[in-house]
Amino acid sequence: MVSVQDRPSPASVAVSVRGLTKRYGDVVACSNVDLDLRRGEIHGVLGENGAGKSTLMKVLIGLVQPDSGTLTVDDARVRIDSPARAGALGIGMVHQHFSLVDELRVWENVVLGERERLDARHARGLVESIGEHYGLGVDPDARVGDLTAGMRQRVEIIKCLRRDPSIVIFDEPTSVLTPQESEQLFGVLRLAVERENKAVALVSHKLDEIRQATDTVTILRRGAVVEDGPTARFDQQSLAQAMIGRAVSLRGDDAAALGATDIVVTEATAASGPVTAPTVLAVENAVFDRYGHRVLDGLDLDVRAGEIVGIAGVEGNGQVELADVLSSLVTLDAGTVIVDGVVVPTGRAGAMGTAGVGMIPEDRHDAGCVLDMSVAENLALASVGVGSWLRRVDRAKNEADALRLIDEYEIRCSGPDAPFHSLSGGNQQRVVLARELSADPKVLVAAQPTRGLDVGAIEFMGEQLRAAAARGVGVLLISSELEEILHLADRILVLHAGRIVGEMNRTDADVERIGLLMGGVTTDTTTTEGEADA
């Protein structure tokens, strides 16, 4: 399907990749990939997680060396062996996370990683002029840690554009943005392409984003290019089919995973969770300050037995702290948590787990597992904190339990004694899921449960959450993937700045209104018009 039919004059090709292959051990991350990024064009790179798109982009910015293949930048064969080399060639990347230092000021972050002499006044001026040029205004002297997620991304973009790259790569840029902010971002991309004649690559796994914002698209599956061409040639259906490799109805789990929201919302699955079911989790007026910032600000929510409640919201609005509270990791400054009618003290070690709160954490390596212990030990973590310290560890029982769960949840590992860190990400997640579900929780909290998983694992996770709800567990789904929430949740709460700012049932969910709420626009008055095109 790699075609050269409708390619414009070669002069406009900024970067050309030919026959790129990269292996990690037995895994082929990229196999014989061809890609052309042209000036004046937004090029979408679509693929599910693990399809090889980040490896491809890392090759372009010099973080990964290919095993074979050629790179051409502006018609010259090149070898990109470091990010610095990529920068010299005019290739820049806007990272999705982790490239800003909170404690430094905006201008310091913007010039971090460069070589020339430090010049504060010049750097401030640059921040201001780039901000003005692209409509990305931000105070150069602000501490980055004080900024909102949207503003932080502005800093990331300025940091990238500051080197005036002619080729800009955006890696999954919308996960920290509201739908409205995403629109705005695409506006900036368009500006860069039209006004500056830059070549822009937009890496994404979301179909609607690719269709909305790109001119050309390359679709990767299992490390290989399966389709490419002008975006207009594809519809939602054909994009999805190319990406997954089989026909999909766009009505099931796949659709949510792929971000085809418009179709999913109209789907009317008979939801469980009758209104009369007892409340199993109630958080009342939760207040929590971290580093002097109020991150939970009077948060109220309740979850009834058998329903899935989705918390929608842009990352960094209190999701992490809410999950931390429900993991007994932090103590609330004010407010109460009630599980199954009983007030549970926050911040007391193990109290939430004992009270019946299961947790599938956002970052399982954070508090969800002990990497240096075995699979069996990780499956039995919940029993460690219970009972006298002199009690013998019942290894035989742990092993038997582990064998059963390994079988039941199809965990691929060499056995109960396998070190946890030797498992793949998907199987580590299954261990967490097996442990949390086998404890018969009353409430199951799933925080960004599908992040980093492939489509198969996402489906499995969705099934498990549904099955848990069907058994009468109250499920709280915290996700920044609006599609995931629209697909799975019976009831949707919108989280902004540490409080719930809106609530609606799935049946009357309205993407635009949710988007506005996520951005902090309180909207009881502005709802009516957006409903039709949802």
Partner 1 sequence: MRDLRNRPGLLTGRLSTKDSSLTFALYALSLLGALVISGALVAATGGSAPDVLSALLDGSVRSPGAWGLTLTTAAPLLLVAIGTIVATRAGLVNIGQEGQVLIGAAFAAYAAVRLGGPGWVVVTGALLFGAVGGGAWAGIAAGLRAWRNVPEVLTTLLLTFIAFPLVTFGLSQAALIADRDTTRQNQLNTGEIIPGTALLPDVHLFGNAIDSGFLVAIGLSAVLAYLISRTLLGTRVDMLGYNPRAAQRFGVAAGPLSAAVLIGSGATAGVAGAVLLTGGAAGDRLVFGFSGNFGWDGLLVALLARNRILVALPVALIFAMLRTGSSFLAATGVDRKVTEVVQALLVLALLIPPAVLFIRDRRRALRSSNQKTPATAPEAT
Partner 2 sequence: MFEALGTLVSSEALYISAFQFSVLFAFAGCGEWVAERAGTLNISIEGMLIGGAFGAVVGHQMTSSAIAGLLVGAFFGFLIGWFQANLSHRLTANQFVVGLALNVLVLGLTAFLDSSIGFDPARAEVIEVPVLVDIPLVGTALFGRPWPAYLIYPLVPLLWWAVFRTRWGLEVRSVGENPQAADVSGIHVNARRRQAIYITGVSAGIGGAFLVLGQVGSFQAGMVNGRGFIALAAVIFGGWTLRGTVIGCVLFGFVEAATISIPANGYSIDPFILEAAPYVVALTVVLAFATRVRQPRALAQPFIRGLT
The residue to which tokens 């198969």 are assigned: 456
Using the rule CB under 8 A, which residue among 88, 142, 263, 382 binds partner 1? Answer: 382
What single string gives the DSSP state of each residue in 201-250?
EEEES-HHHHHHH-SEEEEEETTEEEEEEEGGG--HHHHHHHHHSS---S
Residue 113 binds: one of partner 1, partner 2, none (C-beta under 5 to 8 A by kind): partner 2
Task: Choose one: 36-44, 110-118, 200-208, 247-255; the region binding partner 2 (CB under 8 A).
Answer: 110-118
428 binds partner 1 (CB under 8 A): no
Nearest Cα to Cα of residue 174 among 85, 297, 368, 44: 44
Phi first, then psi: what are they for 225, rounded to 5°?
A: -75, 125
Residue ranges in 156-195 that form contacts with partner 2 under rule CB under 8 A: 159
What single string gives the DSSP state of each residue in 14-45?
EEEEEEEEEEETTEEEEEEEEEEEETTEEEEE
Residue ranges in 283-302 that form contacts with partner 1 under rule CB under 8 A: 290
Which one-letter DSSP state was computed for residue 46? E
Nearest Cα to Cα of residue 524 among 501, 508, 506, 507: 501
Nearest Cα to Cα of residue 42 among 226, 184, 170, 228: 170
Of 394 and 529, which has the nearer Cβ to partner 1? 394
Q: How far apart are CA 488 and CA 264, in angstroms?
A: 10
377 binds partner 1 (CB under 8 A): yes
Q: How far is the CB of 114 from partner 2 (least distance, A)?
A: 7
Task: List beta partners, residue 283.
Answer: 301, 337
Q: How far apart are CA 327 and CA 346, in angstroms?
A: 9
121 binds partner 2 (CB under 8 A): no
Residue 114 binds: one of partner 1, partner 2, none (C-beta under 5 to 8 A by kind): partner 2
Task: Choose one: 132-140, 274-282, 324-332, 443-451; the region binding partner 1 (CB under 8 A).
Answer: 324-332
What string marks each residue from 371 to 410 as x (binds partner 2 by CB under 8 A) or -? Answer: ----------------------------------------
Task: Choose one: 21-29, 108-116, 126-134, 164-172; the region binding partner 1 (CB under 8 A).
Answer: 21-29
109 binds partner 1 (CB under 8 A): no
The residue to which tokens 């049932």 are assigned: 505
* Binding site residues, partner 2, CB under 8 A: 82-84, 87, 95, 98-104, 108, 111-118, 159, 291, 363, 365
* Binding site residues, partner 1, CB under 8 A: 19, 24-27, 29, 50, 55, 58, 63-70, 79, 81, 102, 290, 320, 327-329, 348-354, 359, 365-373, 377, 381-382, 384-393, 419, 421, 424
